[in-house]
Amino acid sequence: MSMMFNAEWGYLEALTRGFKNGMLKHSDYLNLTQCESLEDVMISIQGTDYGLIFGGEKSEPCVEVIEQCLRDRLLQQYSYIRSHSTEPLTTFMEFIRYPFMIDNVALLVAGLNNRRSMKRLLRMCHPLGEFDQLGAIEVATNSAELFDAVLIDTPIARFVPPDLPMESLRYLDVEIVRAHLYRSYLETFYDYCSQLGGNTAGVMTNLLSFEADRRTITIAVNAIGSDISAKDRLKMFPTCGYLPKIALDAMSSLNDAEKIRDVCNVFDGYGKMFDNLERDTDGMITLEDRFLMMEAKKNVQTFLQQYHFGIFYSFIKLKLLECRNIVWISECIAQRQTDRIYAYIPIPLD
């Protein structure tokens, strides 16, 4: 397998490892946090491996410009890997894009329900999640029409559950729809990686199982106090995680964070994610932050093994987190909230 892997994808693996080595180090983050303006942030970023990514921007420095340039750079790196890949890596790379497509559709549905400008919403979409049909949905006048236009004969149509009530989409919370699509996506991707076998199966099923458990726990916590029934909550929980069915059944009916934590502790030790959250009343450390920290560690560890596709998945995940950190620091500087500037998620590269 290793000889075939190197012959087919060795160059792309080496390239991706090079991309990862060019990510921001601890010292780079310290430089960013010392910036006094967004212009300083842009100059500091251009002194790293990002290079002159803001070269063509003539407008006033703003967080939106910084975020868009970071996204475009990620798209450039992804597209290079994707365009030089062969099967089954090509299909694997497409799976990496599907969550961005789902998020873009959810963004458009939410914006449409709130009567936001469709042209403005399309500019906010992540470039990794763009597909041909997105540009044709300006004609949609409600969320049901949008789903009809986007989810039929599109790349993510395969993830629409057969029992999703299309006729009542305009009344469904967009996060519920997103959760159904994500569940189907994760389970399909998990099955695909399992079929690939070898190191790829071992690495990716571990990462996707963690992602499935994270979504389950997050949905369970966010559903506390809502009118979503236990049956409907259970439909949103991915079944490819480490948490067994008995844990999913239990969490679907719980309306207390401590009880959800107890279930997590019994079955997979995720209970530590809830530790000290009550002391974080200023919102500096959230449940999402703790999961992001664990995700960063897992994705860095992916690079300790060779001859698998997991490094392509983990590189994209780490770059997304890096972009999130840069945008967070930029927002803090723009809003003069420098007391919160160090609340970004550390990536243990050093």
The pLDDT tens digits for 291-337 are 999 999 999 999 999 999 999 999 999 999 999 999 999 999 999 99
pLDDT surpasses 90 at 190: yes
pLDDT of residue 280: 47
**Cβ(159)–Cβ(184) under 8 Å?**
yes
Contact yes or no for 223/233 (Cβ under 8 A): yes
More confident residue, 261 or 151: 261
Among candidate residues 102, 257, 242, 267, the one with its CA nearest the CA of residue 183: 102
- Tell me how far the alpha carbon of residue 177 is from its chain's centroid: 16
DSSP state of 60: P
Three-state SS sequence of 248-307: HHHHHCCCCHHHHHHHHHHHCCHHHHHCCHHHCCCCCCCHHHHHHHHHHHHHHHHHHCCC
Q: What is the DSSP string of 95-157?
A: HHHHHHHHHHHHHHHHHHHTT--HHHHHHHS-GGG--GGGGGGGG--SHHHHHHHHSSSSTTG
Amino acid letter, residue 318 = L
Indicate left, alpha or beta for 165 from its phi (over 0: left) and psi (-120 to 50: alpha). beta
Give 92-101 pLDDT, tens digit per residue. 999 999 999 9
Q: What is the model's pLDDT at position 274?
A: 83
DSSP 197: -
Higher pLDDT, 315 or 59: 315
DSSP 340: G
pLDDT at 281: 46
Q: What is the mean pLDDT of the chain?
A: 89
pLDDT at 123: 87
Does 268 or 146 have the greater pLDDT score? 268
